[in-house]
A and B are shown apart, each in its own frame.
Chain A
Amino acid sequence: MISIKDLQVSYRLGTRTIHAVDGVTLDIPDGCIVGIAGESGCGKSTLMKAIYGDITSPMHLSRGSITYGLKSAKGRQVTAQNIREEWFKSISYVPQSSMNSLNPVIRIREQFIDFPGTDSNKKRVLERARAYMGKLGLPPEAMDSYPHQLSGGMRQRMMIGLATFFQPELIIADEPTTALDVVVQKDILMLLMELQEEMKNTILVVSHDMGVHYQVTHKMLIMYAGRVVEYGDTDSVFSDPQHPYTKMLIDSLPTIGDDSMRGLMASAAGASGDRAYRVEPILHEVKPGHFVAQVAAAPVAQSVGA
């Protein structure tokens, strides 16, 4: 279990300090997929970096603590201080840009062994990795190719493969499907879910796509302005969101045949109260060169296009 207490992560920019993550307290249970959502700049990625232990200037932990319920291969307790030694051993990472996260000029098999992994016998690692390709839905020869010889989907499978190959207990996936088309996205997510089912590791998935979260995650974490605004089981969060921001995020999911967005806009616009609206408003010029869709009930001088 990962336990985060009152975590504040800041960026020092000259004399200014920005708290990108500001007082987050959180318990992540073992063996579940946690989805993290929130607008750009809400602190999702900073929180992920802090958990992964990738803290480089100007980013720093200014308050609070992260406790990993993890043990290294040598039986040592993993802490925020020695987490870097556990990279791609008990904690791993799936990057956002699968398209160019592999070195273009060296073969993929080399990229399985060019870091201090769990096994120092490189030959054995390669043999096992080759056998592992089948599980990723890739031919064993994919190991011997250069990145440009694989499609985007295959490359992202490879990234998932690299992240899961050493059977880490925690995987952080920062928008793992952003650059892929919808069909490939689904395959990748299914692969991730399958592997998680088997290995029972904890996965943190950052995504802007509420549909992805709904399909994949067990728990949902909604962030806003550096804080956690809602955290709970995915079913519960989606069916009964409590925070207004969560409600808006979920409402932003389009549904076929759903007119609620139209209703939402109408009611939001109606809340201003000074103009009447109906289902089919017409564009009117309110100031010279400035048009608004509006119903003719209000005192409107001239209409456009008429």
Chain B
Amino acid sequence: MGALVYIAKRFGLYLAVLFIGLSITFLLPRLMPINPVDGYIGQIQSRANGALSAEAIAELRENLENLYGLKGNLFTQYVDYMKRIVFSFDFGPSFTYFPQPVSQMLMAALPWTLSLLLTATVIAWTLGNLVGLVAGYFHKKKAASILEFVGILLYPIPYYILAVTVLLLLAYVFPVFPLSATFPVGQMSWEKVGMIIYNSLLPGITLVLAGFGWNILSMKALAVATTEEPYVIYARLKGASNWTRMTRYVFRNALLPQVTALALSLGMVFNGALLTEMIFSYPGIGLVMRAAATGGDYNVLYGAITISIIAVATAGLVIDLLYPLLDPRIRHK
């Protein structure tokens, strides 16, 4: 019963965060002194060399305001905006790729980003934590410092250098993977899926390597601190095996902050990995956002920001619902 109340409360908070986030997204651009409709009309008028009549301009303005949800006062705009997003997830059409709806563009790019980044993040987290755990648990042994060295080596390399190096090594020096990958779209077949997985391996490897180092280092530091905890020392004096102490004592306790880190980084995944997508010409949401930012495509940006807000808030919700399962101290009665 208590658990249900907790979940209900937490879910209420989640909705409140989404509501506030969406409201700020609505409000911020409207506080700017620029009116995109004016800008657009100005562009068209200059293209038509000022040949448009006043009626035509008024009609154009009317249509544009309807299309982009800029009609009426701030309050009616706000209600309209919320209705459209909540009920139909509609951000209007893209400016650049008019009249393609923004939600369609985002939904086409999201699966690409999610499948690559979620997989890479989870793999990097799992491997990094396992290596970090062993490095931290056996930190007094010399051999374990080799594991830590892997983390120290990988962590400070800027991603673009890492990615280009891996690309050069595995696609040029040893041509295991294609130098310039193609990602088929449209109707999926097994053959196409196989090709996508094969072509995604290279960007995946670079993402895993980039996330791996940080996970090793942070888990190692947590594990070293945990091995000094009285309960781990006591477990040793009870005669508990190294395996029991490492998994049930050190890992279970050092894992808690790492789970938070994982959930937060999963929330960030929705923003895409711009550099990865650029270097490997991967059709993810990062590229869509980049095009929107450089082309002034407001609607696409709103859509992307909204997805980002939903993702981070959802990640927070998941941690809060998951945490009581991992740590009995914060379990709600």
Contact = CB atoms under 8 A, between A and B. Distances in A.
Interface in A65-109: 84-85, 87-88, 93, 95-97, 100-106
B233 A95 contact: yes
Given A103-B249, A105-B328, A115 B234 contact: no
Interface in B224-258: 229-231, 233-241, 244, 248-249, 252-253, 256
A169 to B, nearest CB: 16
Interface majority SS (helix, strand, loop, mixed), chain A: loop
A58 to B, nearest CB: 11
B326 interface: yes
Contacts of A95: 230, 233-234, 237
Interface in A36-57: 52, 54, 57
Main secondary structure of the interface of B (DSSP, over half): helix
A118 to B, nearest CB: 11
B47 interface: no
What bracket does the count of chain B residues touching chain A fall in?
20 to 34
B327 A105 contact: yes
B142 interface: no
A88 B328 contact: no
Interface string B298-333: 000000000000000000000000000011110000
B234 A116 contact: no
Given A103-B248, A103-B253, A106-B248, A115 B229 contact: no
A87 B236 CA distance: 9
A102 B328 CA distance: 13
A143 to B, nearest CB: 15
A114 B240 contact: yes
B252 A106 contact: yes
B229 A146 contact: no
Interface string B17-58: 000000000000000000000000000000000000000000
A283 to B, nearest CB: 44
A111 B234 CA distance: 11
A12 to B, nearest CB: 14
A110 B235 CA distance: 12
Contacts of B244: 114-115
A87 B239 contact: yes
Contact of B248 (A88, A100, A114): A114
A128 interface: no
A54 B237 contact: yes
B239 A88 contact: yes
Contacts of B140: 57
Nearest to B326: A105
A111 B244 CA distance: 11
A116 B256 CA distance: 27
Contact of A101 (B230, B241, B329): B230
A180 to B, nearest CB: 15
Contacts of A52: 237
Contacts of A87: 237-239
Interface in A119-155: 146, 148
A102 B233 CA distance: 10
Interface in A237-263: none
Interface string B58-91: 0000000000000000000000000000000000
B329 A148 contact: yes
A101 B248 contact: no
A88 B236 CA distance: 11
A179 to B, nearest CB: 11
Contacts of A111: 235
Given A105-B328, A114-B248, A146-B328, A100 B231 contact: yes
A146 to B, nearest CB: 4
A103 B231 contact: yes
B3 to A, nearest CB: 16
Interface string B197-239: 0000000000000000000000000000000011101111111
A104 B237 contact: no
B235 A114 contact: yes
A105 to B, nearest CB: 5
22 contacts: A57-B140, A88-B238, A93-B237, A93-B238, A95-B230, A95-B233, A95-B234, A101-B230, A101-B233, A102-B234, A103-B235, A104-B328, A104-B329, A105-B326, A105-B329, A110-B248, A114-B244, A114-B248, A115-B235, A115-B241, A146-B328, A148-B329
Interface of B: 140, 229-231, 233-241, 244, 248-249, 252-253, 256, 326-329
Given A103-B249, A148-B328, 18 more contacts: A52-B237, A85-B239, A88-B238, A88-B239, A93-B234, A95-B233, A95-B237, A101-B230, A101-B233, A103-B248, A103-B252, A105-B328, A111-B235, A114-B238, A114-B244, A115-B241, A116-B239, A116-B241
Q: What 8 pairs between A and B have smallest CB-CB spacing?
A: A87-B239, A115-B240, A146-B328, A101-B234, A115-B238, A97-B230, A115-B239, A103-B231
